[in-house]
Amino acid sequence: MRWRCALLAATLAVTVASPADAQTPVAPRTTFCLEERGPQQCWATVLLSPAIHAIAGTSGDWAGTGGPSGSPVRIRHFKPMQYTLSLALLRDIRQRDAIGGFLQVGLANKQQVRVAAGGRYRWRLGDRVAIDASPGLVHMQIPGEGSSGPADHEPRIGGTTDLDLHLDHWAILTTRLDVIPTKYSGTAVGFGAGLKVDGSPGNGVVVGLIATALVMLAYAALYISIQD
């Protein structure tokens, strides 16, 4: 009789405990994250990434007679450095994979402005290492495309791809390939390699740049008011 009572008590305990365990709340995912937090931690990840690339690019003969004695003028399609700010949105589709899109705005100097947009795929190799592939379209000012001569810049559209290696999800080794058909000097091809940061360090860099720009604008306004 005693063992039957013990068995009945154990059965009741399991029956009562099971619903409570089944109703244990699961921590909800964060709606938006501003840095990589690992698979399934965020509904979407928004990344702001400043970058710098050293560029090796093609040159072409401008189809005109701007040189001495009517000789062709050699045009360098790309400036040696590019500075870019990128905004990206990513959503997880599997434990190790995420997809999304990006928008880039950058420049090499005050004449060569570069804007690009496209898709992004992230392949996580581990908890702190990932590879990003970002193919898309690029719109960039190319020298020698205007009617005024080889120094005249005009916009042209081509293809671009960034391939990035993320280390600890903020220090990023980045490569870039731009292929842009031109009207007067052949196809412009540029390959770049450089560094990029995102997450909290990237946000800090952007905030610092904005603060510096605001200080410079305030100083310029004060200087002009004093001169007047």
Could you tell me the pLDDT band of residue 162, with boundaries at 50, 70 and 90? Answer: very high
Specify the pLDDT at position 151. Answer: 75
pLDDT at 191 over 90: yes
Q: How far apart are CA 129 and CA 119, in angstroms?
A: 20
Whose structure tokens read 């009517």?
70
pLDDT score at 211? 72
Return the pLDDT at 206. 65
Whether residue 14 is predicted with pLDDT greater than 70 in this model: the reply is: no
pLDDT of residue 102 exceeding 70, the answer is yes
With bands split at pLDDT 50, 70 and 90, how would you rate the model's confidence at 167? confident
pLDDT at 28 over 50: no
Report the pLDDT averaged over residues 186-213: 78
Pairing of strands 42-57, 81-92: antiparallel
Q: What dihedral do alpha carbons 61, 63, 64, 67 form, nearest 10°?
A: 10
pLDDT (average), residues 66-82: 76
**Mean pLDDT within 184-199:** 89
The Cα–Cα gap between 56 and 41 comes to: 39
Span 125-153, average pLDDT: 86
The pLDDT value recorded for residue 204 is: 65
pLDDT at 18 over 50: no
Q: Which distant-in-sequence residues (6+ apart) come within 8 Å of 88 by Cβ?
A: 46, 47, 49, 100, 101, 102, 103, 120, 134, 198
Contacts of 188 (CB under 8 A, 6+ apart): 57, 58, 60, 77, 78, 142, 156, 158, 178, 179, 180, 181, 182
State whether the Cα torsion 137-139-144-146 is positive or negative.
Answer: positive
Which pLDDT does position 150 carry in this prediction? 73
Q: How confident is the model at residue 9 (pLDDT cuts 50, 70, 90)?
A: low
**What is the C-alpha separation between 45 and 34, in angstroms, rounded?**
6
**Predicted confidence (pLDDT) at residue 137 exceeds the cutoff of 80:** yes
Indicate if the pLDDT at residue 156 is higher than 50. yes
pLDDT at 80: 93
How is 143-181 classified by DSSP, letter by letter? ET-STT-TT-EEEEEEEEEEEEEEETTTEEEEEEEEEEE
What pLDDT score does 19 carry? 47
pLDDT band per the 50, 70, 90 thresholds, residue 23: very low
Taking residue 41's Cβ as centre, other Cβ atoms within 10 Å add up to: 13
Residue 164: phi and psi, rounded to 5, are -120, 140
The stretch 121-150 carries a mean pLDDT of 88
Going by their DSSP bridges, the two strands 129-143 and 171-181 should be labelled as unpaired
Q: Kindly list the domain boundaries of the chain, sorted by start residue.
A: 30-227
